[in-house]
Amino acid sequence: TMALAAAYLVAYNGVCWAAWGWVFVNLCMELYLGLSSWPRVGNAVVLLQSIAFLEVVHGAVGITRTPVSAAFPQFFARGIVTFVAFSIPEVQRHTSIDVMLVAWSLTEIVRYLYYGINASWFLDPPAWLIWARYTTFLPLYPLGAIAECWLIVTSFQYQRVSPLLPPPFGTALLYFCYAYSVIIWPGLAYMYTYMLKMRKRNLSPKSGGKKQH
């Protein structure tokens, strides 16, 4: 059973790592050409953020050590932002989406590579990858949060007129996004504090290169 769980996690993280790598490469190509990235990578991002719910399940059933209290807030917050981006065409070419996707994709490329190797029964993450996993979040988490909030605030003026959001639903989402633009900051503080604790644990000399989540 443990071997099957490990094989599944290696496959899951490997697929997600490759997919986010594809997103990042295409994102860079679109930005180099002076184009907005969402038309090119948006559907892939929606799919990846939907699949990410499995990480909440992984923590709930105990096949990973990441607590649900850490996995669910990130999944939920990104899900809301992704839904807003998907539902409102007017914001899909806004600069905030490009900044957000740069932060997301860089974070996920490192995270999924680390978790994929860490889940294997024959490899240990190299020192540089452990360092990257527990260091890159320092600038990328705040950058992503700022971009997410920027996108949400930009969407306010369009939510009532979006063809995919009928008036009652659009109004409810609008008020929810008002709340989100406020609660994202204590949410960031919680995740940042959690990751700082994990950084101290995994980068301390006492960790000795042992596998940890």
Catalytic entry in 8, 141, 192, 194: 141
Instruction: Look up 148 and say whether it is catalytic.
Output: yes
Cα separations in angstroms, 170 against 88, 92, 180: 10, 17, 15
Instruction: Look up 158 and say whether it is catalytic.
Output: no
Give ∠ CA 94-181-191 in degrees, rounded to 5.
105
Catalytic entry in 30, 55, 108, 148: 148
H/E element, 15: helix 2-32
Residues 60 and 68 sit within 8 Å (Cβ to Cβ): yes
Distance CA 185, CA 202 (A): 25
Closest CA to 86 of 132, 113, 49: 49
The gap between the terminal CA atoms of the chain, to the nearest Å, is: 20
Closest CA to 194 of 72, 12, 60: 72
Per the document, the length of the chain is: 213
Catalytic residues, by residue number, are 141, 148
